[in-house]
Structure 1
Amino acid sequence: NFKLLTLPEQIALQIRQDIYNESYKKGEFLRETELAKRFNVSRGPVRQALSQLANEGLLEFQPNIGVRVSDHPSEEAFSLIVKLRRTIETFVIKSIFNKLNDSDLGEIEGLLEDVRESCESGDIHQLMLRDYAFHEFFVEKYGDKHILSIWSTTMSRMMMRYTRFADLMNSYEEHRAIVEAIRQGQKQKTVQAFQDNIQ
């Protein structure tokens, strides 16, 4: 179910996962040369990956010092981020609902299956990435790069301090409710299922 990623996207995906599972701690500096050696690439793709993660808010550039892992959002900021993400996804699903076809539904069901596997195995860090991929499908389907960029920023910052995956099977049921509502062709029920899942 994973789309083909460019080299910088592959590197960004791995570093993002390392930040989520705290292999890289907040405040820790990342060195381009060390990352290039780790991924066996030149510094160009690493630089692109770091820039992407900085745009998402996971990293921050400090002039003449380097790139460090960002601090977690405050309670107030986190609350606002959740509202923003909910607004974006509500807008997106309302906009694309009537355009979803059988091929889309098949892909969505595959993404749901990935979420289920992660919930059953208890792999929270894998679940975070698969939850990201599930929701990303809908935002990408809308097809506006600016909205996708804003959304990915909210999603990444939420992931930095996510605790909702404590009840894994409940997380799966929330995603299953989204897919079931889409399958039934019930737009308002789908919107509500998205809103229930984003908190």
Structure 2
Amino acid sequence: MTSSQRIERVTLPTQIADRLRADILAGAYECGSQLLENEVALAFGVSRGPLREAMQRLVQEGLLRSEPHRGVFVTEVGEDDLRDLFFVRGALETAAVRKIFETGDRGQTADTLTGIAGQMDIAMKSGDRIAGGDLDFAFHKTLVDAAGSKRLSQSYASVQTETRLCLHRLMGGYRSSQDLADEHFRLAGLVRSAEIGAVLDELGRHFGDPTEVLKRARKQERGQ
């Protein structure tokens, strides 16, 4: 039996966009910094045509911003943006938790979340904050997807770019490497066996004030 689905070819602009996206999310470029076409093209070993197309894709995703007559810059997430971002995330994840308690499989969801928290624990203990940030994102995305709502997941995906853009920076703002894993282990355990109110209360504590976490991260970056 043959499949009628065509295999998508990976074009050069797609490859460039994938690499540039990974570099931005890994913190290779400072937030707010300008990307000079000739320098990036030289570093990647590509011509400026496909690079421009790749950059435009990342502009559409929100990772880059284009300013007329000035150039292309890495999107910078300010404190007000961060508060608004976490407000939206909190609303979506609260809706997901309510849906899971109504119709979802709490045990299976908790098992999956606990597994991710375990990987996060290993990453943070080894000092790999990039992996820790990726796993943080995977944990919360898994929680939302477990609600089984296509539209809720789509709404969450719409803020994932900005979330990932700032998550790696926020990793340095936790009080210790163990804090991040402990909070996620606790959330997973509450999803398994607690009342919904306890889960939502813990979710609120977990989000807290992201700007305070960002301030601690900045101090750590400066070695204070």
Question: TM-score if structure 2 supplies the norm length?
Answer: 0.66
Q: State whether structure 2 residue 198 is matched by structure 1 residue 170.
A: no
CA distance, structure 2, for counterparts of residue 165 and residue 184 of structure 1: 27
Which residue in 2 is equivalent to 1:76? 80
Which residue is equivalent to 1:127? 132
1:148–1:110 distance in 2 versus 1, CA, 3 Å: same
Higher-RCO chain (CA-CA 8 Å, sequence separation at least 6): 1
Distance 1:30 1:105 in 2: 45
- Once the two structures are TM-superposed, the CA of residue 177 in structure 1 deviates from its matched residue by 0.8
Larger Rg: 2
**Amino acid across the alignment from 1:29:** L
Q: CA RMSD in A?
A: 3.5
Give, in whole Å, the separation in 2 of the partners of 1:177 and 1:9. 38
The C-alpha deviation readout for 1:63-106, integer Å capped at 9, x for no partner, is: 57754311231x23322222222222112222223403544333
Is 1:28 the counterpart of 2:27? The answer is no
Match of 1:3 in 2: none
* Unaligned ranges ≥5, structure 1: 1-5
Task: Tell me, in whole angstroms, the C-alpha distance in 2 between the residues paired with 1:126 and 1:114.
Answer: 9
Describe the SS at the equivalent of 1:60. Answer: strand
* 1:143 corresponding residue in structure 2: 150
Separation in 1, partners of 2:120, 2:36: 30
After TM superposition, the score normalised by the length of structure 1 is: 0.72
Please tell me whether residue 93 in structure 1 is matched to residue 97 in structure 2. Answer: yes
Name the SS for the 1:61 alignment partner.
Answer: strand
Question: Across the two proteins, how many residue pairs are aligned to each other?
Answer: 186
What is aligned with 1:115?
Answer: 120
What secondary structure, in the 3-state scheme, does the structure 2 residue paired with 1:25 have?
Answer: coil
Aligned counterpart for 2:191 among listed residues 165, 174, 182:
182
Q: Within 2, Cα distance between the matches of 1:186 and 1:167?
A: 28
For structure 2, the residue ranges without an aligned partner over 5 or more in a row are 1-8, 209-224
Secondary structure in structure 1 of the residue aligned to 2:28: coil
CA contact (8 A) 2:90 2:204 kept: yes
Between the aligned partners of 1:166 and 1:121, the Cα distance in structure 2 is 16
Deviations along 1:139-184, one digit per CA (max 9) or x if unpaired, are 2333225412333145235426524335221111110111110121
